Amino acid sequence: MDFSFKINIHNPYILLFGVLILLAGCYPDIDYTSKGYTEKIIVEGKIESGKYPQVYLSLNVPLSESVDSTTIRDKVIRHAKVTVSDGNVEEILTSKWDVERFPPYVYFGTEIKGQTGKTYYLKVEYGEEYRGEHAIKSQTTIPLDFQIDSVYIEPASVDSLRTLSVAINIDKDRKNAYRIYTRKSKDKRYIETPIVFNSDLSLDGLQKFTLSPLPNKNDSSFTEGKYFAVGDAVDIKVIAIDSTTTRFFKDLTMFSIIAGNISINEIKPLSSNITEPGFGIWYGCAVQTKRIIIQ
């Protein structure tokens, strides 16, 4: 059985800034409660093996304010001091506008590259209030390396299309889950299969996962849906995440599925690994990639 969890995030550019999203009303059968507005710094940060760290920062939006792209953009934090350390080297990240994302502002590194098995420390200082002992902090360890064992190309209901599956040899003791992305030659970006594979951390040995990317209308491959065209070159990207990150994405997904239309505020149940008054996730990823031609 494939123990996996679906990610229900429809706008790929909003991503984890949906973590502080909450229904204006309450559902009686879940314990998601909205209390008075408390300012929090929302953190979405990651460091991949072989890549430099990236961090996105924003303030949460009070329930009293309307929630739209303009409101969230106005809450983007552009003047923080963001520091990443591997325990030996410490780097203050540079920042710039990033039109490929939303919110469109990123803090990025140029010195420290992620390595599997290593721990990385994050510190965010902002204004006079969030400095020194009140700085927002987190740490994460990039999972140990793994391999993509096999890729399976199988017929679909249309002769010119195929389905795609990936097999990974899972070591249950490592307690890792997996997220899988594909990029077709006609597309500009990696598109995720919206599932956290092995989210229960219970699978062991060789496991096969079927890919179902969800392109949006702006992607050139939109008409292909979750399938892959014969003759196309496809880049596959598999990332391993640890148990802390897995819990966060599971909580985020469950809230997203239940909530539907949502507005941003403080949410109690999500498994943030960011110190108060921050909220969100700082996570490491072990990454493997493979390019194939669809036949």
Pairwise pLDDT comparison (206 vs 40), residue with the higher score: 206
Q: What pLDDT does 23 receive?
A: 28
Identify the CA nearest to 181 among candidates 240, 222, 232, 223: 240
3-state SS, residue 139:
strand
User: Does 5 have pLDDT greater than 80?
Assistant: no
User: Does 290 have pLDDT greater than 90?
Assistant: yes
Weakest mean pLDDT among 18-22, 55-59, 163-167, 234-238: 18-22
What is the percent of the chain where pLDDT is above 90?
62
Mean pLDDT of 229-255: 91
8 A C-beta contact, residue 58 and residue 42: yes
Q: What pLDDT does 214 receive?
A: 92
pLDDT digits (tens, 9 = 90+) for 251-282: 877 766 554 433 344 445 578 899 988 888 99
User: Does 113 have pLDDT greater than 50?
Assistant: yes
Extended beta strands in 32-155, E state: 41-48, 54-59, 81-85, 90-92, 94-97, 105-108, 119-125, 136-141, 148-155
Q: What is the mean pLDDT of the chain?
A: 84
User: Does 288 have pLDDT greater than 50?
Assistant: yes
Residue 292: left (phi > 0), alpha (psi -120 to 50), or beta? beta
Q: How many helices (H) and strands (E) would you count in the chain?
A: 2, 20
8 A C-beta contact, residue 60 and residue 19: no
Q: Are strands 81-85 and 90-92 parallel, antiparallel or unpaired?
A: antiparallel
Please give the model's pTM, rounded to 2 decimal places: 0.84
Pairwise pLDDT comparison (35 vs 153), residue with the higher score: 153
Q: What pLDDT does 271 receive?
A: 82
Other beta carbons less than 10 A from residue 111's beta carbon: 13
Q: What pLDDT does 37 receive?
A: 63
Q: What pLDDT does 225 receive?
A: 95
Identify the CA nearest to 234 among candidates 155, 153, 170: 153
Question: What are the structure tokens assigned to 34, written together?
Answer: 């909205």
Cα separation values, 133 from 20, 63, 91, 125, 249, Å: 24, 29, 19, 10, 28
User: Does 36 have pLDDT greater than 70?
Assistant: no
Task: Write down the residue that tokens 């539907």 correspond to.
Answer: 260
Q: What pLDDT does 263 receive?
A: 36
pLDDT digits (tens, 9 = 90+) for 60-87: 877 667 667 777 788 899 999 999 999 9
Weakest mean pLDDT among 1-5, 51-55, 275-279: 1-5
Q: How many residues does the chain have?
A: 295
List 206's β-bridge partners, or say none.
Answer: 169
